[in-house]
Homo-oligomer: A and B are copies of this chain.
């Protein structure tokens, strides 16, 4: 096992020492435990984007999202260190991933979710046998609850953004994508990744190091926390407007991901709600993939802007845990473009 200390340094130096080698090491640790998800091509989406899109279908990942990668590594390390249980806050997918990883290691787990967590995700966490606590709708409310449970029970925290194992694990999705495109004789000019708390984009920046490839972020207009952080030069809490992209609702970027990503990210696309809806529908009807709104945010950015990014553009479709009702509603509405 390749080793890294889990401790977090002072803000601004948190990413120190982390590099592409760590992502490659994480990939070796994960081999055979997560699906090597396919890279899907779709002529009709290429036509809409005006360029070649390579869709990394992490919606087909175990637990329904790429978050399974980082959580497996983080929980494995804690279990090896004799942890008595784990606690984590999440909008949903990281919680599912931690619940599955805890079950695999025989550890109890408490997952702290927002009151407006989507039912599909809550069901998957319950199915994995974990305990759930609800705490408001804001990141700060969930974090406070996590600290309380940590104190009360002595459980270890698996933070979705501030954990090096998590960031490295998330980076393996982009690293796999790069390798899979290369195996097909291609080379990516850019990769588009959605931004919630920041672990996906930070992992992508690590994976893309030395690749001469632009890393592009996509976030909802309604919660443009990474754009705000770039402007401020540090993570800031933004007013949380409503977005259907429940996975991208965190109102503040993590400082570790910001530290790792801010100097590398080529641009950040802010995506409207109607574009997220249209991309979700287009993925379903054209690429025949069910993706959740967070993944659709990245696809929407690619459909509108990828032609400017180059001839070959990767898109990390981060997850597929979406409400049946939302799909029904989007398919029924003739005003949603696709």
Which residues in A have some Cβ–Cβ distance to B below 8 Å?
A: 35, 37-38, 40-43, 57, 59-60, 62, 64, 284-285, 287-291, 320, 324-325, 327-328, 331-332
Contact = CB atoms under 8 A, between A and B. Distances in A.
B288 A320 contact: yes
A60 B43 contact: no
Nearest to A59: B288
A41 B38 CA distance: 11
Contact of A324 (B38, B285, B289, B290): B285
A328 B332 contact: yes
A288 B60 contact: yes
Contacts of A57: 38
Contacts of A43: 62
Contact of A331 (B35, B64, B288, B324): B324
A290 B290 CA distance: 7
A110 B67 CA distance: 48
Contact of A38 (B38, B42, B59, B287): B38
Nearest to A338: B324
A144 to B, nearest CB: 33
Given A42-B60, A288-B320, A289-B290, 6 more contacts: A43-B62, A59-B288, A284-B290, A324-B331, A325-B331, A328-B332
B40 A60 contact: yes
Contacts of A59: 288
A43 B35 CA distance: 10
Contacts of A327: 284, 327-328, 331
Nearest to A329: B328
Nearest to A286: B64
Nearest to A290: B288
Interchain residue pairs A-B with the least CB separation, the first 6:
A38-B38, A288-B320, A288-B290, A324-B331, A328-B331, A59-B288
Nearest to A319: B288
A334 to B, nearest CB: 10
A253 B288 CA distance: 28
A40, A41, A288, A290: which has the most chain B beta carbons within 10 Å?
A288
A126 to B, nearest CB: 14
Contacts of A40: 38, 60
Nearest to A36: B184
Contact of A288 (B291, B325, B328): B291
A306 to B, nearest CB: 19
